[in-house]
Amino acid sequence: MHEPQAGALAAVAALDEPTRRRLYDYVVRQPEPVSRDDVAAALSVPRATVAFHLDRLVDERLLAVGHGRRTGRTGPGAGRPAKLYRRSDRQVTVSLPERDYELAGHLLARAVEEAGETGGSAREILALRARELGEDLGAAAADLTAELEEHGFEPRTEDGGVLLGNCPFHRLARAHPRLVCEMNLALVTGLLTGAGSADLTARLDPRPGRCCVRLTSS
């Protein structure tokens, strides 16, 4: 669900080159995959330049590539299949400071759907599902601090505990502080449980300019 910010920044940086951005914009607006020759002819860019930039976009997973014969001919003498480029399924979002509204939206939507199906409390279901997700993430993580960093919490050691310097759900927390902070607390608590970190406890400690959750020594 969540892509590390460094990978997203690299993808965005790849589009900073003007010719590469022109090629990308052309390819993603076509109804069918296009070849290097198609792009070169449409934009009056040398084919070698087109090939270099398109393959760079494939390397960044901004474009997907397949192979096919545009003439429809098959068998001996039909020639080699051409590379055909199209928009990839990758979605890139960059936010500074880092935010993760997709994760929050996923948890909130799941809680509302489940509450509608079961008649349970959406708030309680949200906390439960957030904690379960945190446990899964923590269990799969090699390092708790790195996992918190990857999800945008900006952890740093302070006064024997861990201060989370950034809230990945900042705007939502400002508009709906109780709901989102409860979700956040459940998520981080689950991370600690999944990672087997028995020496830290997550608790609410809302203060301006940082996450509402703080990790303290147990």
Please tell me the predicted confidence (pLDDT) of residue 158.
84
Give the global pTM. 0.73
Domain-by-domain residue ranges, the chain? 5-87, 101-217
Q: How far apart are CA 126 and CA 124, in angstroms?
A: 5
What is the per-residue DSSP string for 12-71? HHHTTSHHHHHHHHHHHTSSS-EEHHHHHHHHT--HHHHHHHHHHHHHTTSEEEEEE-TT
For the stretch 102-160, pLDDT in tens is 999 999 999 999 999 999 999 999 999 999 999 999 999 999 999 999 899 999 998 87
pLDDT at 215 over 60: yes
CATH class of residue range 5-87 = mainly alpha
- H-assigned helices in the chain: 5-14, 18-28, 36-43, 47-59, 101-118, 122-140, 144-150, 170-175, 177-195
